[in-house]
Structure 1
Amino acid sequence: MKSNATPFVLLPPRLTVVFTLARLLQRMELSAAPIDARQYRSVATRLAEELGAVPADEPLAAILQAHPAAAELYENLYYAHAGLCRTPLELAAEAEADTLALLARASRAA
């Protein structure tokens, strides 16, 4: 029988702030209530700083797996070097094709 349980990964103390900010950003993303733009930007900026200072290892991957908003931010931070590194290949290819089509339409309209 296949389990849907999230695997347990011991969180190193160095990732406590990353985990806390990732969780907060995810809650903000899912909130039905309006979120203050300055507060959102503050959390995202702080998380980006933290993500830039930690190694890409298994515990970080577990945090990003559990928090899609943080994973998207991480991917955007490293896009220049790794492309859509956390996005499944099919979705990444689809996004690239959509972008090319949009750019072609924009250039024809200009």
Structure 2
Amino acid sequence: MNATHTTTQVVRVPGRLVPLATLARLLERLDHSQEPVDADQYLAVVRRLQQLLQDTRADDALHAVLEAFPSAAQVYENLQYRHAGLCRSPLERSLRSELAARQVIERVSGGEPAAG
């Protein structure tokens, strides 16, 4: 078992998830960088992370990594969306987000508010 550090915690990671956790940490750093980030580098990190996430079975260890690295969790959720919707988001927050998005879309399109 290896340890990887987030800004506030240490996450114990099984050896099979070390590459994934390393990329998750790198993505988190890129997302919060105060310096401009090269778009090609960012895209390369995201694509490699996507591949690792697709090749990794979902279990408690993976979810611990995703909990520690929100940027990676968002990539994971985007990959799963077609099959599972907002699988890592609490239902109430997801519903509120959907309703807010609907209101914005209706407002900018000049349409009548939909019943919801």
User: Normalising by the residue count of structure 1, what TM-score does the alignment of the two structures yield?
Assistant: 0.84
Residues matched between the structures, number: 104
* Counterpart residue number, 1:104: 106
Q: Tell me which of the two structures has the higher relative contact order, counting C-alpha pairs closer than 8 angstroms and 6 or more residues apart.
A: 1
Which deviates the most, 52-61 or 93-102? 93-102
1:38-57 maps to which residues of 2 (within 5 A)? Answer: 38-57=40-59
1:93 and 1:79 mapped to 2: Cα distance? 15
| TM-score computed with the length of structure 2 as normaliser | 0.80
> Which stretches in structure 2 are left out of the alignment for 5+ residues?
1-7, 112-116
Please state if 1:93 is matched with 2:95: yes
CA distance, structure 2, for counterparts of residue 57 and residue 80 of structure 1: 19
Alignment match, 2:79: 77
Relative to total residues, which structure has the larger strand share, 1 or 2? 2
1:86, 1:58 → 2: CA distance? 13
Q: Structure 1 residue 90: deviation in Å?
A: 2.6
Q: Counterpart amino acid of 1:29?
A: D
Cα distance change of structure 1 residues 7 and 29 upon mapping to structure 2, 3 Å threshold = closer
Structure 1 runs not aligned, ≥5 long? none
Q: Which has the higher helix share?
A: 1
Code of the aligned partner of 1:93: L
Q: Secondary structure at the match of 1:98?
A: helix
C-alpha distance in structure 1 between counterparts of 2:42 and 2:24, whole Å:
12
Over aligned residues, Cα RMSD in angstroms? 1.9
* Aligned residue in 1 for 2:15: 13
Identity, % of aligned positions: 44
Match of 1:33 in 2: 35
**What is aligned with 1:66?**
68
Q: 1:12 offset after TM fit, Å?
A: 2.1
